[in-house]
Chains A and B, each alone.
Chain A
Amino acid sequence: MVAHKDAAALALARLRRNGSLPAVGLHLVEAEERARQSGRQIILIGGDNGPPLAVLGWQGTEPAASPHPPRLARRVLSPRATKALVIVHALLTDPQASLNTVTTEQVLTAIELLTSKSGQTWAIPALHQDLPQAGLIAPQSGGWAPGPRMQAWDPSTRDVMAHAARQLWEHPAWPGIRDA
């Protein structure tokens, strides 16, 4: 019994560290109970292209950083990685395109059409390092698919990202990408 509890605690600790883990073999019931006590929740995602993943998410809205007392420091994406994330998410959720993955070239094209400038210097590091490391996107079939953290966003983050995506779709320079 003690070993079982320890395994659940260990699973939760690994989930905290990694953000997500394959759900197979995790002591999910105990881990969920413990996560619930602290306002977190374990969300199961995926399953189509691999084993289901357990992601440590939040009950309700994820707490925001606060620079004022009581202070709460949060790790945040750099502004350039955030821009790349907004474009990747808008491409992935574009109802006209119905893409399962987006390529680096598609992202760069969208940046160039929107800003009339090349985004190579900042978008490529964001796509290859920042966003995959944060679990927001994941490499798949030569492109980028939604990562576990993106799939486990809380409702308010989903709302703001959906708002950003709608604004981009309605932009006259938004690329008319179609799934080949």
Chain B
Amino acid sequence: MTASELLLGLGYRRAVTSAADADPTPLPRSRHSFRGSQASHAAAVLGITLREAGALDCSDEEIAAATDICRALADLDPRGEGVATRKLFERLEGRYPRPMLENRLVALMKAGSVEKDREVINEQDVRLTLSGSLSLILVPWISTMSGQRALLEMLSRAQARAASPDAAADDVRADLAELRRVLSTFANELRRIIDGRKTAEMIQYARDADDRELRSRIAGLKDIVVHRFADELIDDLERLGVACDWYLIQQLRLLKQLSATRGTRGHWVRSDEVHEVMRTADPAHLAALWDGIAFDEAPVWVNPEAVLRALSELTSISTDDPVPEPGAPGAESAAEPDPREILRELAERLLDGADQRDLTEAFLTLPWPSPAVLLARLSVLAGLDIGYALSYPGHLAMRASETTARVATGVILRRALASSHGGTSAEGSIAW
């Protein structure tokens, strides 16, 4: 026994194939692109009985024309004796182009909704059939049926059956199961719309949906079922409750999204949705979608952050480049040694008690940059005029080493008399 035979024996079904060894029939790549939204909706609803969905493809205006042909026939011919097509067209020509009316009449006759009064050549009288009159009820109903309305219809039917004294548990169970399936599917569809931010559909759903009514109707149905079939259908009710909760969660998500940021709804519009909405939406819908945000000249928005920045600029204290104040001797400056003392100590160290000293030799031997630093400090000291002077005999001294040779100007440091405008300290005026 093969594995597939074993599975079949256990109740599993074989995958559907067109022949025993053939691959499964490939699915179409995408659904038919309809000209009219009503036809698309009706074809999707009737898809379970359709061989090819495209056969239903007609525009919304063509659907309206066909419906009006059926209505006109019923009005013009209450006894079913036949109406001349000329009379029919005259009545409707103001609303629809003649070729469209002829085309729709042919389609209705092919479908069996309208028939010739007598099978006679050149006979031009037509009359509405029973199926044609049914289409007057069903076509508008199918093409405009929304999820919420369908749910309420199903609830009414299930409620009526459950309340009926002749109701059988199996029938009520079947109703509960159908209701559960539809609820779950609608909830999943709603979740897809919310997750995909399909704005137009979100608004449509929000407009149609009334979760309070649905909740109360389901609670009413549960009460009836519990009252009459508590023992037999408790599990079915449990499953229905799970589906109902799932649907209501999605409804709440939708309403929360739409109410929380209603003003920003416009910027949710996906680029591929814009053209479809522009083509099909009514003015109120367009306004709801794009009001003041997406396309038109929205009023200027006062950005709170910009206001706070402006406030900060207006109230900040001006910080121009500060002008330095004249220094005043303080405790810190008093603690620092007088630079003149430092220079004087340096000079005394070099003089070592003598009145003058030739520094040329020191400049030739001290490591670089000490000679330059020393000369700079002594030049400052001489400039301070506090009893020291530098003189330059004018000779150049040179000391050669193995690799380099150093040249220095002859410099002599000596004591000198300080002038009267010399240093400010008392010592500065001392004569040496």
B288 touches A38 (CB 8 A): yes
Q: Does B262 contact A (CB under 8 A)?
A: yes
Q: Does B287 contact A (CB under 8 A)?
A: yes
B304 touches A63 (CB 8 A): no
Q: Does B302 contact A (CB under 8 A)?
A: yes
Q: Does B310 contact A (CB under 8 A)?
A: yes
What residues on B are CB-neighbors of A66 within 8 Å? 267
Q: Does B164 contact A (CB under 8 A)?
A: no
- Please, which residue of chain A has its CB at the minimum distance from the CB of B320? A116
B308 touches A149 (CB 8 A): no
B292 touches A16 (CB 8 A): yes
Q: Choose one: B291, B293, B315; the contact of A114 (CB below 8 Å).
A: B315
Q: Does A97 contact B (CB under 8 A)?
A: no
A38 touches B299 (CB 8 A): no
Beta-carbon contacts under 8 Å, A134-180 to B: 134-136, 149, 153, 156-157, 160-161, 164, 167-168, 171
Q: Please measure, in the bound complex, the distance between the C-alpha atom of A79 and the C-alpha atom of B306, giving whole angstroms.
A: 7
What residues on B are CB-neighbors of A38 within 8 Å? 262-263, 265, 287-289, 291-292
What residues on A are CB-neighbors of B197 within 8 Å? 70
Asked whether A164 and B298 contact (CB < 8 A) given A34-B287, A38-B287, the answer is no
What residues on B are CB-neighbors of A156 within 8 Å? 304
- Please, which residue of chain A has its CB at the minimum distance from the CB of B312? A167
Q: Please measure, in the bound complex, the distance between the C-alpha atom of A12 and the C-alpha atom of B290, giving whole angstroms.
A: 13
User: Of residues A17, A63, A160, which shows the largest number of chain B Cβ atoms within 10 Å of its Cβ?
Assistant: A63
Mask: chain A, 31-44; 1 = CB below 8 Å from B; 0 = not: 00011011110000
What residues on B are CB-neighbors of A82 within 8 Å? 302-303, 306-307, 309-310
Q: Please measure, in the bound complex, the distance between the C-alpha atom of A171 and the C-alpha atom of B306, giving whole angstroms.
A: 19
User: Of residues B264, B304, B314, B315, which shows the largest number of chain A Cβ atoms within 10 Å of its Cβ?
Assistant: B314
Q: Please measure, in the bound complex, the distance between the C-alpha atom of A109 and the C-alpha atom of B351, giving whole angstroms.
A: 70
What residues on B are CB-neighbors of A58 within 8 Å? 263
Q: Please measure, in the bound complex, the distance between the C-alpha atom of A152 and the C-alpha atom of B11, giving whole angstroms.
A: 71
- Please, which residue of chain B has its CB at the minimum distance from the CB of A157? B302
Q: Please measure, in the bound complex, the distance between the C-alpha atom of A76 and the C-alpha atom of B289, giving whole angstroms.
A: 22
- Please, which residue of chain A has its CB at the minimum distance from the CB of B290? A38
What residues on B are CB-neighbors of A9 within 8 Å? 283-284, 287
A77 touches B318 (CB 8 A): no
Q: Does B301 contact A (CB under 8 A)?
A: yes
Q: Please measure, in the bound complex, the distance between the C-alpha atom of A67 and the C-alpha atom of B151, giving whole angstroms.
A: 41
Q: Does B313 contact A (CB under 8 A)?
A: yes
Q: Please measure, in the bound complex, the distance between the C-alpha atom of A58 and the C-alpha atom of B284, giving whole angstroms.
A: 17
Q: Please measure, in the bound complex, the distance between the C-alpha atom of A74 and the C-alpha atom of B40, giving whole angstroms.
A: 38
Q: Please measure, in the bound complex, the distance between the C-alpha atom of A114 and the C-alpha atom of B315, giving whole angstroms.
A: 6
Q: Does B297 contact A (CB under 8 A)?
A: yes
Q: How close is B101's CB to chain A, nearest CB, in angstroms?
A: 24
- Please, which residue of chain B has its CB at the minimum distance from the CB of A170? B315
Q: How close is A61's CB to chain B, nearest CB, in angstroms?
A: 8
Q: Please measure, in the bound complex, the distance between the C-alpha atom of A63 and the C-alpha atom of B299, giving whole angstroms.
A: 12
Mask: chain A, 1-42; 1 = CB below 8 Å from B; 0 = not: 000000001001100110100000000000000110111100
B264 touches A77 (CB 8 A): no
B314 touches A168 (CB 8 A): yes
A134 touches B315 (CB 8 A): no
Asked whether A76 and B301 contact (CB < 8 A) given A40-B292, A56-B292, A171-B315, the answer is yes
A164 touches B310 (CB 8 A): yes
A70 touches B292 (CB 8 A): no
Q: Does B89 contact A (CB under 8 A)?
A: no
Asked whether A16 and B296 contact (CB < 8 A) given A37-B284, A38-B265, A79-B310, the answer is yes
The A-B contact count (CB < 8 A) is 134
Q: How close is B347's CB to chain A, nearest CB, in angstroms?
A: 53
Chain B contact residues, majority secondary structure: helix
B314 touches A115 (CB 8 A): yes
Q: Please measure, in the bound complex, the distance between the C-alpha atom of A136 and the C-alpha atom of B197, giving whole angstroms.
A: 34
Asked whether A40 and B310 contact (CB < 8 A) given A63-B264, A77-B303, the answer is no
Q: How close is A159's CB to chain B, nearest CB, in angstroms?
A: 9
Q: Please measure, in the bound complex, the distance between the C-alpha atom of A99 and the C-alpha atom of B247, giving whole angstroms.
A: 57
Q: Does B300 contact A (CB under 8 A)?
A: yes
A39 touches B262 (CB 8 A): yes
What residues on B are CB-neighbors of A65 within 8 Å? 301, 303
Q: How close is B114's CB to chain A, nearest CB, in angstroms?
A: 32
A71 touches B267 (CB 8 A): yes
Asked whether A59 and B307 contact (CB < 8 A) given A9-B284, A76-B301, the answer is no
Beta-carbon contacts under 8 Å, B253-306 to A: 261-265, 267-268, 283-284, 287-289, 291-293, 296-304, 306
Asked whether A164 and B291 contact (CB < 8 A) given A70-B268, A116-B318, the answer is no
Asked whether A62 and B263 contact (CB < 8 A) given A86-B314, A135-B299, A164-B310, the answer is yes
* Sample of 19 more A-B contacts, CB < 8 Å, known A38-B289, A76-B306, A171-B315: A9-B283, A34-B284, A34-B287, A38-B288, A40-B292, A56-B292, A56-B299, A63-B264, A63-B293, A70-B197, A72-B267, A76-B301, A82-B302, A82-B309, A83-B314, A115-B318, A149-B300, A161-B307, A167-B311
When A and B form their complex, which 5 residue pairs have the shortest distance between CB atoms, in order from nearest?
Answer: A39-B262, A38-B291, A134-B300, A38-B288, A74-B301
Q: What are 19 A-B contacts defined by CB distance under 8 Å? A: A19-B299, A34-B287, A37-B284, A37-B287, A38-B288, A64-B301, A65-B303, A70-B268, A72-B267, A75-B297, A76-B302, A79-B306, A82-B309, A86-B311, A86-B314, A111-B314, A136-B302, A149-B299, A164-B310
A interface residue numbers (CB < 8 A to B): 9, 12-13, 16-17, 19, 34-35, 37-40, 56, 58-60, 62-66, 70-72, 74-77, 79, 82-83, 85-87, 111, 114-116, 134-136, 149, 153, 156-157, 160-161, 164, 167-168, 171
